[in-house]
Structures are given as structure tokens and as C-alpha cells.
Structure 1
Amino acid sequence: MEKQHVFDQIPDYLDGNLSKSEASVFEKHVENCADCQKELEEMQAFLNVMDKEVHTPSDKLKANFEAALEQEKQHQRKVVQLKSKSSSNWTGNVLKIAASIALLVASFQMGSLFQQRKVDASIAQLQDETNQMKQTAMLSLMENQSASKRIQGVNYIEEFERPDEAIIQALANRLLYDENDNVRMTAFEALAKFTSSETVKNTLIEALENEKNPSIQVAVIQALVQIQEKKAAEPMKKLLDKEDTQPFIKDQIKAVLPSLT
């Protein structure tokens, strides 16, 4: 054996398939053969890497291993056929190890995914509850007897990136029916940020027909012209015909009306 390499026995040795006497002879040969010792160390290193690192097993793993081993044999200018049974057994064990590790990692990742979804759901629920509390506080303040509290409630709109229909309608009611000019102006300023809403557009048109405060009238006219709301033309014409409409309001309407007709 000392004159012949034992490459083909390495997989069986690593798998513990050699008898005690065969293992003893193998070990003595390796101690005196640098080539076989090198081959044994490389295979042991490969197995150690598989124990520490996770790779998803593929159909190419066995082919890559045998190709690398064949290249090493050619380098040594020795043609040594691996025993198909031993090689298959050893590499099969490697594949099993890699598959087991991959399964563990997949299980861990799946568990992490489910946990993250649970956390996300909890956060979403908390945010929803917080928004509900803010909305309740806002609507309550807008019904307060104090004008300053109603203004505070209207300004709560800053807490909502996308207010729902209930909030929009509450703001519309402040603009259309609140007895305080400052509250109505504040409500208009809040609604003007959401002019893409049909409810807001209709509210502004209704406010244009009924509003008596000239400052709010001008602000509403400018907002409707800015969004080019064609339905605002008729209410503007009616304002032109009213005797109590302020002259500067009529001038404003005459300047912008052509752009809506």
C-alpha cells in the first residue's frame, strides 16, 4: 500500500466505514504519503465548511465534487477510480447535511417572517386605534361651544394625512354653518388642502352661494378658480347680480369668470 495511493478509501474512512484493521493501515499509509495526506485534509476541510456554512443543495454539488477530485488526480498523473459506492455514500451524506441545514434555516426564516407579520399587524392596529382617538377628539372639539376650541378642533386636521369622509364632512359643516367668521375661515383653509375630493368641491360651491364674509368669499373664489371648477361659474354670476355683493368681490369675479366659462 505504501507504493500506491489510497484516494478511493478516503470517503469510507471519513464515513467510518473501514474496519479497525483497514483504518489502521490507512492511517499508517497517510502518515508516510504527502499526497494522500493532502487529499484527506482537503476532504476534511470541505466537510468542516459544510458544518459551518449554509448552502442550498443543488443537483450540481456531486458533479462539482467529483470534477474537482478528478482534476487533482490528473495533476498527480495518477488515474485512480473512485469507488462509486463509497463516493456516492460520502457525497450523499454531505448533501443530507446541507439539506438539513437549509431546512433549519428555512424554518427559522419562516418563523421570523410570521413574527414580523404579527408585529406589523400589532403596529397597524395601534396606529388605527390612535387615529380613532384623534378623530374622536377632533370631532368633539369642533362641536364645543367655545369658538377657540372649535378652531383647535379644525386645526387637528394636521394630524391626518388622508382624512376620512367623516372628518371632511365635519369640516364642511364648520365652513357652512358655524356662526364665527374665524372658525369658518379656519375650516376653509383646512378643506382647501383636499380639493380633489368631490365633497370639498361641492362644499366650496355651496359656501360661495351663502357666505357673507367678503374675506371668505374671496378665498373661496380663488380656490375654485385654481382648481378650475366649472360648476362655480353659475354661483359667481348670481353674486354679480346681487346688490349686497361688495364691489371688489364683483371685480374679482369679473376677472376670473372668463376662465371658467
Structure 2
Amino acid sequence: MEKQHVFDQIPDYLDGNLNKSEGSAFESHIRQCADCKKELEEMKSFFNVLDEDVPVPSDRLKAKFEAALEQEKMNQGKVVTLESKPSSNWTGNVLKIAASIALLVASFQMGSLFQQRKVDADIAQLQNETIQMKQTAMLSLMENQSASKRIQGVNYIEEFERPDEAIIQALSNRLLYDENDNVRMTAFEALVKFTSSETVKNTFIEALEQERNPSIQVAIIQALVQIQEKKAAEPMKKLLEKEDTQPFIKEQIKAVLPSIT
């Protein structure tokens, strides 16, 4: 016993797991071996520190030591493997590198997302400004003294997939009040694409009551019949009663009037 160290028996001795004979032999050795005595004292001190924070398990002191380390690991939020020998920290370094890469990628993706949103916003603003410029040009041309310019302005409707109320109203004014037959017909052809609009429907009905050009009258009648606009029946009846209404217009009205009344 004097020639051999008893390091491996220290945990069992401290935990009270040595029998009487083994305990006596252990204590006898400790009194004679400075190295084992020093190891015993150091382990006692270490276990005393653990006793302050970690409850003592009901089994072996060695198990208590491992449980204390496990608890400390959980408290610090670190993922490590408990081993009896010191281990290399390469795993932790790899995790740190992976986390750094993930953070870098996430930052890059967020930066790309924000940049894309800014680009989209800039494009949307540019598109809106372009539409406003086209609308301004269109409205300006439709007020021009030249009939050809007004027709050019009306034809600008092709640039707008969903024209707003200002454009619809401007086209309606051309159909209702323009002195040039060609401008009025062009305005009708532009408006007929948007007959779902109540403004357009009301404009056609009003135009039918005051229009004198037979070609435009026929075009308006056909459009109103196609959308089955029942409010068009009264102005059609009035045209039938007017002496100056062209005979072929009256025949057209008589043919279609039953379908909307």
C-alpha cells in the first residue's frame, strides 16, 4: 500500500463506500504518502465547492461530480461532452465558425432583401412618375386647338391599362362637346373599352340624346345594346319620335329596342 498510490480510491473513500478494512488501509496509506494526502485534500476542497451550489445525489460522489458539471454546462448554455480527460476545443471552434458564417449569410440576405425593396420602390416611383407625365401630356393634347392634336391625345389611352376617373372624364368631354366629328368618334372608340364604368354608360346615354352624326349614333346604340343598358331605352324612343332622325337610324332602333326594354 505504501508503494502504490490510492488516487482511484479517493472518491469511494469520501463517499463512504469503502468497507472498514479498506478504509483503515486507505487511511494508513494516506498518513505515509504525501502525494495521496495532497490529492485527497484537493479533492475534498473541490467537492466542498460543489456542495455549495449542487445538491448531493443519493448515490456515489463521483456521480454527483458529473451531475454538477452537467448542470454548469446547461446554465452556461454550452453544448459540450463530459469526459474524464480534457478534450480538444476544436468542436467549439467549428461551431463558432459555423455561427459566424450563418450570421454573415443572414446579414447578406437581409441586406439583399432591403436593397431589393429599395429598388422595387424606386421602380414603382419611376413608373408612377412616367404615368403622371403621360396623363399630363394626354390631357394637354385633348385641349389643343388642333383637331389632329386632340385625336392624338385621345389615342394616348392605349398607354393606360386602367385609366383613372380624370382620363375617363376627359374622354367623355371630347365625345360630348368636341366640335369635330372625327375627334368625337375617336373618343367613343376609346371609351367603348371601359363600358363597365358608370361614367362611360351615362356619357353614352347623354351623347345619344344630342349626337347628330349618324355614324356615331349607330356606334353608340350598338354599344348600349351590347351591354344591355336599359336606361338607353328612353333616349332611343325620343330619337324615334324626332322627325330629323335618319330613317336607317330609326330602323336600327326598332330592331334593337325590344332587347333592352
Give TM-score scaled by structure 2 length: 0.66
Distance 1:254 1:90 in 2: 95
1:85 CA drift (Å): 7.0
Aligned twin of 2:115: 115
Aligned twin of 2:100: 100
CA separation of 1:250 and 1:85: change in aligned 2, threshold 3 A: farther
TM alignment of 1:198-237, pairs within 5 A: 198-237=198-237
RMSD: 2.1
Q: Deviations over 1:1-36 (max 9, x none)?
A: xxxxxxxxxxxxxxxxxxxxxxxxxxxxxxxxxxxx
1:90 CA drift (Å): 4.2
Aligned twin of 2:156: 156
CA separation of 1:84 and 1:99: change in aligned 2, threshold 3 A: farther
**Aligned pairs, number:** 183
Structure 2 gaps, min length 5: 1-78
Higher normalized contact order (CA 8 Å, seq sep 6+, divided by chain length): 1
Distance 1:98 1:115 in 2: 25
Aligned twin of 2:141: 141
CA separation of 1:84 and 1:113: change in aligned 2, threshold 3 A: farther
1:86 CA drift (Å): 3.5
Aligned twin of 1:42: none
CA separation of 1:83 and 1:234: change in aligned 2, threshold 3 A: farther
Distance 2:118 2:190 in 1: 36
Code of the residue aligned with 1:102 in structure 2: it is A
Code of the residue aligned with 2:183 in structure 1: it is V
1:188 CA drift (Å): 0.3
1:97 CA drift (Å): 2.3
Percent of pairs identical after alignment? Answer: 90
Distance 1:225 1:84 in 2: 95
Code of the residue aligned with 2:152 in structure 1: it is Q
Distance 1:168 1:257 in 2: 27
Q: Flag the structure with larger Rg.
A: 2
Aligned twin of 2:6: none
Q: Deviations over 1:119-147 (max 9, x none)?
A: 11111111111111111111111111111
Structure 1 gaps, min length 5: 1-61, 67-80
1:96 CA drift (Å): 2.8
CA separation of 1:96 and 1:85: change in aligned 2, threshold 3 A: farther
1:195 correspondence with 2:232: no
